[in-house]
Amino acid sequence: MSAHHYEEDFYAWTQEQAALLKAGRLDGVDTDHLIEELEAMGARERRELTNRLVVLLVHLLKWRYQPERRGNSWRLTIEVQRMDVAGLLEDNPSLKSVIDACFYKAYKKAILLAARETGFSKPTFPPMPPFTLAEALAADFWPQ
């Protein structure tokens, strides 16, 4: 019945699994799907970190390469993304072990988005980030 709920009514399945776990009835737990969902939850947190870094890096690139267009909107976006990244790391400290990989992955995507948003060609932006992860996350860093 658990696997059926998983396929037909995910919410009902989650409630059933929680009730079984609370009751200590491990023999009734849909282990395979539960493992799959737990792994997916962890992957979502990592993707969220990468996505926040992408938005941050796009705006840092625009800040650096379009100084004449700098404004409060970009500044606030950068500040919000820094706070969001800090919040994710606070809520999920183990993400610190993968943040470097996420940073470089995010930068590759940020180049594409910055090129699209600025109208500049991709080669305008260096293949490696022109600032470190620590700089990107520092509240007082504004690339010139």
pLDDT in tens, 17-49: 999 999 999 999 999 999 999 999 999 999 999
> What CA–CA distance (Å, rounded) separates 94 from 71?
34
Residue 14 located in a structural domain: yes
Residue 105 located in a structural domain: yes
Residue 144 located in a structural domain: no
- Residue 105 belongs to what domain range? 2-137
> What CA–CA distance (Å, rounded) separates 13 from 2?
6
Q: What is the mean pLDDT of the chain?
A: 95
Residue 24 located in a structural domain: yes
Residue 46 located in a structural domain: yes
Residue 143 located in a structural domain: no
pLDDT over threshold 70, residue 4: no
> What CA–CA distance (Å, rounded) separates 61 from 78?
11
This prediction's pTM:
0.86
Q: What is the pLDDT of residue 1?
A: 46
